[in-house]
Amino acid sequence: MKTAEIAQRYLDYFEKNDHVIVPSASLVTDDPSLLFTVAGMVPFIPYLTGVVPAPYARAADVQKCIRTNDIEEVGKTARHGTFFQMLGNWSFGDYFKEGAISYAWELLTSSEADGGLGFDERDLWVTVYEDDDDAAALWRRIAGLPEERIQRFGKEDNYWSTGQPGPAGPCSEIYFDRGPAYGREGGPAVDDSRFTEIWNLVFMQYSINNVRSKTDFDVVGELPNKNIDTGMGLERVAFIKQGVDNMYETDQVRPVLDRAVDLSGRRYGASHEDDVRFRVIADHVRSSLMLLSDGVTPSNEGRGYILRRLMRRTIRAMRLLGVDVPTFPELFAASRDAMAPAYPELARDYDRLSSYAIAEEETFLRTLASGSTILDTAVADTKRSGGASLAGAEAFLLHDTYGFPIDLTVEIAEEAGLSVDRDAFDTLMQEQRSRAKADAKARKRAIADHSVYREFRALGETTFTGYTDFETETRVLGVLVDGVSVDRATAGQTAEVILADTSLYAESGGQIADKGIIVGAGFELDVLDVQKPVPGLVSHTVEVKAGEVAVGHAATTIVDAANRRAAAQAHSATHLVHAALRDTLGKTATQAGSLNRAGYLRFDFSWSQALSAETKTEIEEIANTAVRDNLEVTTRVLALDEARDLGAMALFGEKYGDTVRMVDIGGPWSRELCAGTHVRTSAEIGLISLVGEASVGAANRRVEALVGMDAFRSLAAERALVAELTSALKTPREQLPARIAELSSSLKAAEKKIAALEARALGEKIPDLVARATREGNVRAVVQNVAGAASADDVRAVALQVRERLGAEAAVVALASVVADRPVIIVATNDAARAQGLKAGALAKAAAGVLGGGGGGRDDLAQGGGTDAGAVDAALDAVTRALRNA
Q: Which of 108-117, 142-151, 405-414, 708-717 has the lowest mean pLDDT?
A: 405-414
In the prediction, which pLDDT does 78 show?
65
479-530 pLDDT per residue, tens: 999 989 999 999 999 999 999 999 999 999 889 999 999 999 999 999 999 9
pLDDT exceeds cutoff 70 at 402? no
If pLDDT is split at 50, 70 and 90, which confidence band does 464 have?
very high
What average pLDDT score do residues 85-92 get? 96
Residue 678 annotated as lining a ligand binding site: yes
Beta strand 150-153 pairing with 124-129: parallel
Q: Which of 11-15, 179-183, 376-380, 397-401 has the lowest mean pLDDT?
A: 397-401
Neighbours of 154 (CB within 10 A): 11
pLDDT exceeds cutoff 50 at 539? yes
Neighbours of 216 (CB within 10 A): 9
pLDDT exceeds cutoff 60 at 248? yes
If pLDDT is split at 50, 70 and 90, which confidence band does 1 have?
very high
What average pLDDT score do residues 296-310 get? 86
759-798 pLDDT per residue, tens: 777 778 888 888 889 999 889 999 999 887 888 888 898 8
Residue 571 annotated as lining a ligand binding site: yes
Distance CA 509, CA 523 (A): 31
Q: Which of 8-17, 200-209, 342-351, 645-654 has the lowest mean pLDDT?
A: 645-654
- CB of 356 closer than 8 Å to CB of 604: no
If pLDDT is split at 50, 70 and 90, which confidence band does 81 have?
confident
- CB of 278 closer than 8 Å to CB of 261: yes
What average pLDDT score do residues 674-685 get? 96
Q: What is the percentage of the chain residues whose pLDDT exceeds 90?
A: 62
Distance (Å) of CA 159 to CA 81, 138, 153, 156: 23, 18, 9, 7
Give the SS3 label for residue 401.
helix
List of domains in the chain:
3-246 (3.30.930.10), 252-366 (no CATH), 387-445 (no CATH), 450-551 (2.40.30.130), 564-713 (3.30.980.10), 765-884 (3.10.310.40)
Distance CA 461, CA 442 (A): 30
What average pLDDT score do residues 414-438 get? 78
In the prediction, which pLDDT does 72 show?
77
Q: Return the DSSP state at 168.
A: E
- CB of 636 closer than 8 Å to CB of 615: no
pLDDT exceeds cutoff 80 at 806? yes
Give the SS3 label for residue 384.
helix
Between residues 398 and 126, the one the model is more confident about: 126
568-618 pLDDT per residue, tens: 999 999 999 999 999 999 888 888 889 999 999 999 988 888 999 999 999
Residue type, 879: V
269-287 pLDDT per residue, tens: 999 999 999 999 999 999 9
pLDDT exceeds cutoff 90 at 337? yes
Cα 113-119-123 angle, rounded to 5 deg: 160
Distance CA 605, CA 581 (A): 9
Strands (E), 751-877: 774-776, 779-785, 811-819, 822-829, 855-857, 861-865
Residue 578 annotated as lining a ligand binding site: no
Give the SS3 label for residue 672.
strand
Distance CA 572, CA 626 (A): 11
Consecutive H or E run containing 486: strand 484-486
Q: Which of 101-110, 290-299, 701-710 has the lowest mean pLDDT?
A: 290-299
Residue type, 275: D
What average pLDDT score do residues 222-236 get? 92
If pLDDT is split at 50, 70 and 90, which confidence band does 199 have?
very high
In the prediction, which pLDDT does 226 show?
92
If pLDDT is split at 50, 70 and 90, which confidence band does 448 have?
very low
Distance CA 502, CA 466 (A): 7
